[in-house]
C-alpha cells in the first residue's frame, strides 16, 4: 500500500492529466470523423473509435506494466533493446510491402511499425551513451558515437522508405545540442586545417543545430509561400510570399527588441540587440535568397521542388491533401462548425483523405474552430514545457536526456503534423501524437510517456 501511495504522490499529475485529456480529445474526434450511423456505439470494436478505445486500454495496461518494473531496467537494457529494435528494422525490410513501404511487421490490423518503437530504443540508448560519457564531452569521437546511434536506424528507416519517421529522428540532434554534443569540434577541425588558423570555439559551430533548423524552417516556409501573395493590413499592396516572410521577421525583431529594451539588463541588451540584428539580416537574407533562387530556376526544376513540397496543382497529387486539409482547417472559423458537423473532413464526405489518422487536426479544427485549435496548441505547449521542466529537475543525466528525447520527438510530431495542415510543412505523413487513430503510434507514444513518468516518479531514489 505504501508503494502505491508513493506512486500516486510521486506521479507528475499535470503531465499525466494532459496526456489523458489529449487521448480523450483524440477519441472524441475519431468518433466524430469516422462515425458510422449503423454502429453508433462508441465501444463498437468494428469501428475505428471502438478500436482506438481498445488501443487506449492496451496502452494503459502497458503503462501499468512499466510502473511495476524497476526503472533501472531501461538504463541497463538500453543496448539490448536497441539491438532488438534494430533487428526488427532489418527484418521489416523483408516483409511484403504494404501501401508502398515495408514498414509493417505482422498482418492486417495486428501489425506493428518497428520505426515507432525505434524512437524509444534510440532515446534510451542515447540517454545511456551520453550520460556515461566522461566530463570532457566535446570530442569528435563522442559526437560521432552519438550520431551513429541515430544514423543506423535512420538508414534502415530510409530503406523502407518512411520519410516521416526519418525526419523525426533528426529531433535527437536537439537533445545532443542540449547536452553539448554539438558539431563544433568537427567544424573547428575543418577550420583549423587551413594553415595559420587557430580557433578554439565558434559560435556558429556550437549552435549549429538550432541555426540549421531555423534555416531549414525559414526556407521551407519561403518555398511553400512562394506561389501565394500575402496581404498585410499596414502595407499598401499585396506582397509576394518571400517578402511576406521577411516582413514577418522584421515584425518579430521589432517586438523582440522592445522586449529586451524593457526587461533586459544592460549586458543582455547589447548582446541581444546584436543577435537579433544579425539574425534578422541572416534570416532575411536567407528568405530573400531562397525566394530569388527559386524564381530563377528553370520550370522543370521548379516543378520538381513544388512536387516535393506538395505545392503542384495536381488534383490527385499531394496538393490535393494539403489544399483540402487547409480548406477544412480554415473553414472552422472562430468557433467551429460544432461537434460531428465537419462537412469537409468527415470520412463519409471523403474530401480529406486520412482525416482520422495523419490529418486528424482537420476535423478537430473544423469542428471546434480557432477556439479549439488554440486549446490544442496550448495543451501541446504545456506538455512540452512540462516535460522540459521535468527533465531539468532530474538528478540523473540518463533521466534528463531521456526526457529531452521525449520532448523533442513530440515537438517534431506536433510541428510537422500541424504544419502540414496549415501549409507550413510538406506533407510527410506522421501522426499527431495521442490524437491520430492508430495502434502502433498510440502504444509507442504512451510507452514513451509512461517510462518518462516512471523515471520521474523515482527521481529521488536515484542517488548517484
The residue (of 41 and 87) whose beta carbon lies closer to another protein is 41
Angle at 184 between CA 178 and CA 188, to 5 degrees: 170
Residue nearer to another protein on the CB measure, 45 or 259: 259
Q: How far is the CB of 48 from another protein (least distance, A)?
A: 14
- CB closer to another protein, 398 vs 411: 411
Least Å distance, CB 77 to another protein, is 27
Minimum distance of another protein from residue 79's CB (angstroms): 25
Is the CB of 56 or the CB of 127 nearer to another protein?
A: 127
Smallest gap, in angstroms, from Cβ of residue 266 to another protein? 18
* Residue 231 C-beta: closest distance to another protein, Å: 8
Shorter beta-carbon distance to another protein: residue 273 or 331:
331
Closest CA to 122 of 101, 91, 150, 98: 150
Q: At its nearest, how many Å lie between another protein and the CB of residue 274?
A: 16
> Residue 78, Cβ neighbours under 10 Å: how many?
22
Minimal distance, residue 388 CB to another protein, in Å: 6
CB of 60 to another protein, least distance (A): 27
Between 7 and 214, whose beta carbon lies closer to another protein? 214
Query: Contact at 8 Å (CB) between 116 and 105?
Result: no
Distance CA 402, CA 131 (A): 10
Strand 239-240 versus strand 229-230 pairing type: antiparallel
Of the pair 82, 104, the CB lying nearest another protein is at 104
All three cell numbers of 343? 462537412
Shortest separation between residue 348's beta carbon and another protein, angstroms:
5
Sign of dihedral through CA atoms 112, 384, 411, 24?
positive
Comparison of 85 and 362: residue with beta carbon closer to another protein: 362
Residue with Cβ nearer another protein (321 or 458): 321
Q: How far is the CB of 427 from another protein (least distance, A)?
A: 6
Nearest C-alpha neighbor of 397 from the set 134, 8, 209: 134
As a whole number of angstroms, the distance between CA 104 and CA 129 comes to: 29
What's the CA gap between 365 and 420, in Å, rounded? Answer: 13
Unique residue bearing C-alpha cell 551520453: 130
Q: How far apart are CB 3 and another protein at their closest, in Å?
A: 32
Beta bridge pairs of residue 98: 101
384 is written with which cell numbers? 512540452
What nine digits make up the cell of 351?
Answer: 474530401
Query: Which residue number, 207 or 269, has a Cβ lying nearer to another protein?
Result: 207
Amino acid at each position: 500500500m505504501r508503494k502505491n501511495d508513493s506512486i500516486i504522490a510521486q506521479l507528475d499529475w499535470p503531465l499525466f492529466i494532459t496526456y489523458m485529456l489529449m487521448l480523450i480529445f483524440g477519441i472524441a474526434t475519431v468518433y466524430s470523423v469516422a462515425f458510422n450511423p449503423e454502429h453508433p456505439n462508441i465501444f463498437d470494436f468494428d469501428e475505428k473509435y471502438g478500436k482506438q478505445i481498445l488501443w487506449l486500454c492496451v496502452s494503459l495496461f502497458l503503462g501499468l506494466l512499466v510502473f511495476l518494473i524497476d526503472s533501472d531496467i531501461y538504463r541497463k537494457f538500453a543496448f539490448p533493446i536497441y539491438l532488438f529494435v534494430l533487428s526488427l528494422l532489418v527484418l521489416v525490410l523483408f516483409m511484403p510491402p504494404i501501401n508502398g513501404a515495408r514498414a509493417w511487421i505482422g498482418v492486417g490490423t495486428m501489425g506493428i511499425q518497428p520505426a515507432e518503437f525505434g524512437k524509444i530504443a534510440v532515446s534510451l540508448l542515447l540517454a545511456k551513451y551520453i550520460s556515461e560519457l566522461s566530463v570532457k564531452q566535446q570530442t569528435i569521437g563522442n559526437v560521432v558515437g552519438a550520431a551513429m546511434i541515430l544514423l543506423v536506424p535512420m538508414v534502415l528507416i530510409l530503406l523502407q522508405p518512411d520519410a516521416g519517421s526519418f525526419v523525426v529522428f533528426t529531433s535527437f540532434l536537439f537533445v545532443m545540442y542540449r547536452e553539448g554534443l554539438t558539431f563544433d569540434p568537427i567544424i573547428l577541425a575543418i577550420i583549423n586545417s587551413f594553415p595559420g588558423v587557430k580557433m578554439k570555439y565558434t559560435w556558429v559551430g556550437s549552435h549549429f543545430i538550432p541555426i540549421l533548423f531555423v534555416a531549414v524552417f525559414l526556407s521551407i516556409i519561403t518555398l511553400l509561400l512562394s506561389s501565394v501573395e500575402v496581404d498585410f493590413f499596414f502595407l499598401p499592396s499585396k506582397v509576394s510570399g518571400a517578402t511576406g516572410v521577411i516582413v514577418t521577421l522584421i515584425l518579430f525583431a521589432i517586438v523582440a527588441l522592445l522586449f529586451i529594451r524593457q526587461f533586459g539588463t544592460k549586458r543582455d541588451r547589447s548582446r541581444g540587440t546584436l543577435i537579433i540584428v544579425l539574425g534578422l539580416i541572416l534570416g532575411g537574407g536567407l528568405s530573400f535568397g531562397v525566394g530569388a533562387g527559386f524564381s530563377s530556376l528553370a520550370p522543370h526544376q521548379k516543378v520538381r521542388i513544388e512536387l516535393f513540397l506538395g505545392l503542384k496543382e495536381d488534383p490527385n497529387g499531394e496538393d490535393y491533401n494539403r489544399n483540402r486539409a487547409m480548406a477544412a482547417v480554415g473553414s472552422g472559423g472562430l468557433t467551429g462548425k460544432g461537434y460531428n458537423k465537419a462537412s469537409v473532413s468527415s470520412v463519409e464526405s471523403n474530401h480529406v483523405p486520412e482525416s482520422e489518422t495523419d490529418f486528424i487536426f482537420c476535423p478537430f479544427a473544423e469542428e471546434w474552430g480557432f477556439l479549439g485549435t488554440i486549446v490544442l496548441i496550448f495543451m501541446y505547449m504545456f506538455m512540452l514545457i512540462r516535460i522540459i521542466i521535468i527533465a531539468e529537475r532530474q538528478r540523473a543525466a540518463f533521466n534528463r536526456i531521456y526526457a529531452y528525447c521525449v520532448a523533442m520527438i513530440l515537438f517534431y510530431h506536433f510541428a510537422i503534423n500541424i504544419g502540414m495542415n496549415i501549409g507550413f510543412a510538406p506533407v510527410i505523413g506522421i501522426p499527431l501524437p495521442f490524437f491520430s487513430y492508430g495502434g502502433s503510434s498510440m502504444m509507442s507514444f504512451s510507452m514513451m510517456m509512461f517510462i518518462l513518468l516512471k523515471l520521474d516518479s523515482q527521481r529521488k531514489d536515484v542517488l548517484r
